[in-house]
Amino acid sequence: MVLLAERTTLGAPIPTDRLTLQVADIGPDTTAIRCLDWDRQRFDIEFALDNGTTYNSFLIRGDKVALVDTSHVKFQELYRDLLLKQIHPDQLDYLIISHTEPDHSGLVADVLALAPHITIVGAKVAIQFLENMVHEPFRSQVVKSGDRLDLGKGHCLEFVSAPNLHWPDTIFTYDPASGILFTCDAFGMHYCDEHLQDEVPHLLEKDFQYYYDCLMGPNARSVLMALKRIDGLDIQQVATGHGPLLKHQVNHWMNCYRRWSEAQAKTDNLVVLFHVEGYGHSDRLVEAMVQGLHKTEIELEVVDLASATLQEVRELAGAASALLIGMPPQGRQHPNFQAAISTILASAHRKQGIGLFEVGGGEDEPIYPLRTQFQDLGLTEIVPPLILKMGAKPANPASAEQESIFASSGLWSGFGFVSQTSELPAALVQTCEEIGTDVGQWVSRDRTIQQIKSLDTNLEKALGRLSGGLYILTAQKGELSSAMLASWVMQASATPLGVAIAVAKDRAMESFLRVGDRFVLNVLEEGNSQPLMKHFLTRFSPGADRFAGVKTFPSQQGSPILAEALAYLECEVTSRLESHDHWIVYSTVHTGRVAKAEGLTAVHHRKVGNHY
């Protein structure tokens, strides 16, 4: 059945894209509701569409009824009206969220308004996202791989975690009664026509591959993990969130994903981060580390030890170039985590790097015995352990509600009292981001050296004839500060005064140079630049104070001005342009001063142009 949307206001047609609906039974007790967006031309910034797209939602009617995903907000009224024709809201029991991107979850609040009693089922991260999106209390059920939800009449749904396909919160839902696997984005395509399924596969090949290349290819290893997790399922049909459902050539489409992903998944730059979701402060620490890792060119797998199989743990731990491990809870009550740690130890080898961190869960596996075991295996410790413990409640009655968090390590030391639910200290979060970047840089170090060696000699010499001044960028954001030596700096505007600075993407300082941030550009003086250069060229450990032993005074907005600088400019970032491996940071200049009227700027003459 195809319903054409006629959107009018007071009888006058609104110039709009064509939006239609399609409803069809696709298996026992299972109905597809497809929202056809015929004329959508772009998905995200980089994803041009030739054939529009669809947003697919599904009803599964056992003794209980589940809705799988909703739709895009542009279908708000159409979808609502159609859903009400399909089912009375009182009969709806569950809303399964395959992932929370708005093209599928844009109408969650509308469904909740119709049926506030329903339970929303999703990955832990998905439920957290939704709580921030919906702003209304709702019932929820967190699921992960292996969990089941029995709707009755044989529809005992089984969930499969499929993180990174393409959001971190993705789950698949398998219904053994129909053999349908609901995958949302995975195996989808942006292809809009009235064919419900893949009856004419050759028409779809191009769009299927383009979609894979744009959305799934960058996470090829995660695709392979997901394929392994669904390997034993008897899949008769793949109910995707975009485009036609896959029924006639299921094996062909799956094999395409397998083949393409095997070709793309690299192992020479893989970082695997093992942790236990939701334990202690693990989620926040991992989020910061992931942010830091993504500044570098590595492939990343984040693995929740609570849902990963030992086989997955073994494969990933063996394939990784570096391992980051957030300590799981110890003790006999958690035998699965002990087995996972043993498996990692059995798979690790001496060519790998390692970083360990406690998460402050109260009963973390002790870090030092494990550290010794990895050292005995010959792994390189990229970053010293980060220790985070929940301490005793402070005696001060004013703080009686608080728990103490004590973090100390060779890298970061600090002591703070924060309530269990409050934010972690910003300095600790920054340290975690820098740990991620350090690990990524360690993994990609060989490639960086190869790139430096690979340029044509004459070209690199010619490029080296471009010279620049020597500067130190300094910034303060709240309690956090950072600094870096820069030489790729130029004036870029006269009215208003503006400068442009190229900053490598994997610099810790990059996080202080987002649009709206303020910083100081300190100009080094010829003949007096060596002490400051030497200091700021030091490789700082994550979280280390860049200004220890350096004389500074604060600028108007608080960023440190170096007392030994020849001049300084106080700047505000107004835009950023992404080049291949640098950000070009354009900033307007608010104030500035020269310390010595006669002084000259220190200049950097390079021999070659392919590195600093």
**Is the distance from CB of 612 to CB of 606 less than 8 angstroms?**
yes
Examine residue 104 and tell whether it contacts ligand FEO (CB under 6 A). yes
Q: Which of 61, 80, 155, 242 binds ligand FEO (CB under 6 A)?
A: 242
Q: How far is the CB of 568 from ligand FEO (least distance, A)?
A: 45
Query: At 319, which amino acid appears?
Result: A
Paired tokens of 109: 């609040």
Examine residue 101 and tell whether it contacts ligand FEO (CB under 6 A). yes
- Size of the residue set binding ligand FEO (CB under 6 A): 9
Examine residue 434 and tell whether it contacts ligand FEO (CB under 6 A). no
The span from the CA of 271 to the CA of 297, in Å, is 11
Q: Which stretch binds ligand FEO (CB under 6 A): 96-104, 150-158, 267-275, 578-586?
A: 96-104
Which is nearer to ligand FEO, 100 or 296 (by Cβ)? 100
Q: Which stretch binds ligand FEO (CB under 6 A): 32-40, 97-105, 324-332, 473-481?
A: 97-105
Q: How far is the CB of 50 from ligand FEO (least distance, A)?
A: 17
Q: Which of 37, 69, 103, 299 binds ligand FEO (CB under 6 A)?
A: 103
3-state secondary structure (DSSP) of residue 65: strand
Angle between helices 426-443 and 282-293 (to 10 degrees): 40
Q: Are strands 567-578 and 518-523 parallel, antiparallel or unpaired?
A: antiparallel
The span from the CA of 608 to the CA of 610, in Å, is 6
Examine residue 106 and tell whether it contacts ligand FEO (CB under 6 A). no
Examine residue 37 and tell whether it contacts ligand FEO (CB under 6 A). no
Which is nearer to ligand FEO, 214 or 584 (by Cβ)? 214
Contact mark string toward ligand FEO, 481..500, x via CB under 6 A: --------------------
Contact mark string toward ligand FEO, 138..167, x via CB under 6 A: ----------------------------xx
Task: Name, in order, each residue with C-beta under 8 angstroms of 319's C-beta and a sequence gap of 6 or more.
Answer: 267, 270, 272
Q: How far is the CB of 169 from ligand FEO (least distance, A)?
A: 10
Q: How far is the CB of 236 from ligand FEO (least distance, A)?
A: 23
The span from the CA of 105 to the CA of 103, in Å, is 6
Q: Which stretch binds ligand FEO (CB under 6 A): 95-103, 291-299, 365-373, 457-465?
A: 95-103
Q: How many CB atoms lie within 10 A of CB 210?
A: 17
Paired tokens of 11: 């009888």
The span from the CA of 587 to the CA of 607, in Å, is 29
Q: How far is the CB of 272 from ligand FEO (least distance, A)?
A: 24
**Is the distance from CB of 127 to CB of 120 less than 8 angstroms?**
yes
Q: How far is the CB of 101 from ligand FEO (least distance, A)?
A: 3
Residues 543-582 that bind ligand FEO (CB under 6 A): none
Which is nearer to ligand FEO, 185 or 312 (by Cβ)? 185
Which is nearer to ligand FEO, 163 or 436 (by Cβ)? 163
CA quadruple 491, 493, 494, 498: dihedral, nearest 10: -70
Q: Which of 185, 315, 433, 510 binds ligand FEO (CB under 6 A)?
A: 185
Residue 370 has φ and ψ, to the nearest 5°, of -70, -40
The span from the CA of 460 to the CA of 457, in Å, is 5
Q: Which stretch binds ligand FEO (CB under 6 A): 99-107, 116-124, 331-339, 441-449?
A: 99-107
Which is nearer to ligand FEO, 184 or 317 (by Cβ)? 184
Q: DSSP labels for 298-352? A: -EEEEEETTT--HHHHHHHHHH-SEEEEEPPB-STT-HHHHHHHHHHHHH--TT-
Q: Which residue is nearest to ligand FEO (CB)?
A: 101
Among candidates 281, 340, 276, 330, which has minimal Cα distance to 303? 276
Examine residue 169 and tell whether it contacts ligand FEO (CB under 6 A). no
Task: Name, in order, each residue with C-beta under 8 angstroms of 367's C-beta and a sequence gap of 6 or more.
Answer: 327, 356, 357, 358, 385, 387
Helix residue spans in 122-249 (DSSP H): 124-134, 205-211, 220-229
Residues that bind ligand FEO (CB under 6 A): 99, 101, 103-104, 166-167, 185, 241-242
